[in-house]
Amino acid sequence: MTLRAVVEGVGHYLPDRVVPNSEFEKTLDTSDEWIRTRSGIERRHFAADDQTTSDLAVHAAQAALENAGLGVDDIDGIIVATSTPDLTFPSVATMVQRDLGMDHGFGFDVQAVCAGFIYALANANALIIAGQAKRLLVIGAETFSRIMDWTDRSTCVLFGDGAGALVLGAQDGQGDNTDRGILSSDINSDGRYRDMLYVDGGVSTTGSAGKLRMQGNPLFRQAVEKLTSTADTALGKIGLAGSDIDWIVPHQANIRIIQGTAKKMAVPMDRVIVTVQDHGNTSAASIPLALSVGVSEGKIKPGDLVLSEAIGGGLAWGSVILRW
């Protein structure tokens, strides 16, 4: 028998404020058509002034626990993927732990920007396989609206706020690619590409959070190549190919990146979960958010083979293959 980290529940949360593309026309030289054509985004959600990343994460965690039919006493630990924490420290995960009323176990954050949830899943899988935990909450949560330069039309129209969560539990499998749960993962980074996507501030540099900066065209070229490569690597580890995938649930950065990656993998778009039009780029929250939407819409079903992949600042990128 082989121990697997199996998805037992999924949930998400979006702030109440919906921001359509037309809102940016009031302050920027842009239009709804310009934004849709270049990104596929039609609207996004922004957190209220008194909402923090941990607030969004708590809502998503509660939804995932309810979906799993579990409570906090059933959870051994919390991993939160985020690049927009409430505070420099403590971690968002410990704030979520507190707000859920959980007085046991552990919590920590993972920071790999848009690839953060993939990194969090890989870490959660390793902890479960190693016997360090039997059940984990894995959350992606972001308030990227707090680090936008509202004068930069090339970036501020792309991002949104939100959170998604999975409950992962230890279950025995046969040890082959028909098992439920996480079957393989692949994570990578290359710091030489830092300037393609970064925030121009930080505690030890400017003493403030800073604003997001991006080189869109070079990043696009890197994204399609690296996302395809990491997906092929993860599939190869378990002897599968793109044709075996039931659903790609990608990082929701840009519809052209999503389409380009699917095309290179020869996977039709009707087998890709796309939410970028409704949520924009929610960074580490985008994959769990899209997974939750895919389940709630009746698309992702038990037994389906799901590929998730993401790339973000660092550059950091990776993929996870799991059977739902």
> What is the set of active-site residues?
114, 251, 281
Q: Under 8 Å CB-to-CB from 111, ≥6 apart: which residues?
A: 81, 82, 83
What burial class does residue 152 get, using C-beta atoms within 10 Å of its C-beta: 0-12 exposed, 13-18 middle, 19+ buried? middle
The vertex-53 CA angle with 55 and 251, nearest 5°, equals: 120
Q: What is the DSSP string of 258-317?
A: HHHHHHHTT--GGGB---HHHH-B-GGGHHHHHHHHHHHTT-S-TT-EEEEEEEETTTEE
Say if residues 58 and 116 touch (Cβ distance below 8 Å).
no
Measured between alpha carbons, how far is 182 from 4 in angstroms, rounded to an integer? 6
What is the Cα–Cα distance from 61 to 246, expressed in whole angstroms? 26
